[in-house]
Structure 1
Amino acid sequence: MAAKLEIDNPQAMIDVIDALEQVASESVLRQAAVAAARVIWAEVKLRAPVDLGIYEGKWGPHPPGFLRENILLAYDRDFSVAGLRASYLVTWSKEAFYGRFLEFGTSKMAARPFLRPAYEAKKGEAAQKFSEVIESKVEELTRVQ
Structure 2
Amino acid sequence: MPLEVTGLKEMADKIKKIEAVMKSTRISEMALQAAAEILRDEVKRRAPRSKGGGKHAADRIIISAVVEGRIAVGFVPDDWYMKYHEWGTSKMKANPFFEPSFNAKQTEIQQAIMNVYVRELKKL
Q: TM-score, normalised by structure 2?
A: 0.85
CA shift for structure 1 position 120: 0.4
Q: Which runs of 4+ in 1 moved over 6 A?
A: none
Residue in 2 that maps onto 1:60: none
1:133-144 matches, cutoff 5 A: 133-140=116-123, 142=124
Tell me the alpha carbon deviations over residues 7-53 of structure 1, each in whole angstroms, 9 at most, x when there is no partner: 39x5x657634532431211111111111121111100100100122
What corresponds to 1:7 in structure 2?
A: 7
Deviation, structure 1 residue 3: 4.8
**Residue 73 of structure 1 aligns to which amino acid in structure 2?**
I
Match of 1:103 in 2: 86
SS of equivalent to 1:33: helix
**Maintained 8 Å contact 1:52/1:64:** no
CA distance in 2, matches of 1:125, 1:6: 40
1:46-88, Cα deviation, whole Å (9 max, x unpaired): 001001226xxxxxxxx242x01121111363xx3xxxxx221
Partner of 1:94: 77
Bigger CA drift: 94-103 or 68-77? 68-77
- Quote the Cα distance in structure 2 between the aligned partners of 1:3 and 1:44: 59
- Structure 1 or 2: larger strand share? 1
Partner of 2:30: 31
Q: What's the CA shift string for 1:89-128, capped at 9, x where partnerless?
A: 1111111111111111111110111100000000011001
User: Taking every aligned residue pair, what percent have the same amino acid on both sides?
Assistant: 29
- Using the size of structure 1 for normalisation, the TM-score is 0.74
**Structure 1 unmatched runs, 5+:** 55-62, 81-85
Q: Could you say which structure has the higher helix fraction?
A: 2
Which amino acid in structure 2 is aligned with residue 53 of structure 1?
G
Q: CA RMSD in A?
A: 2.2
Distance in 2 (CA, whole Å) between partners of 1:126 and 1:3 is: 46
Match of 1:114 among 92, 97, 101: 97
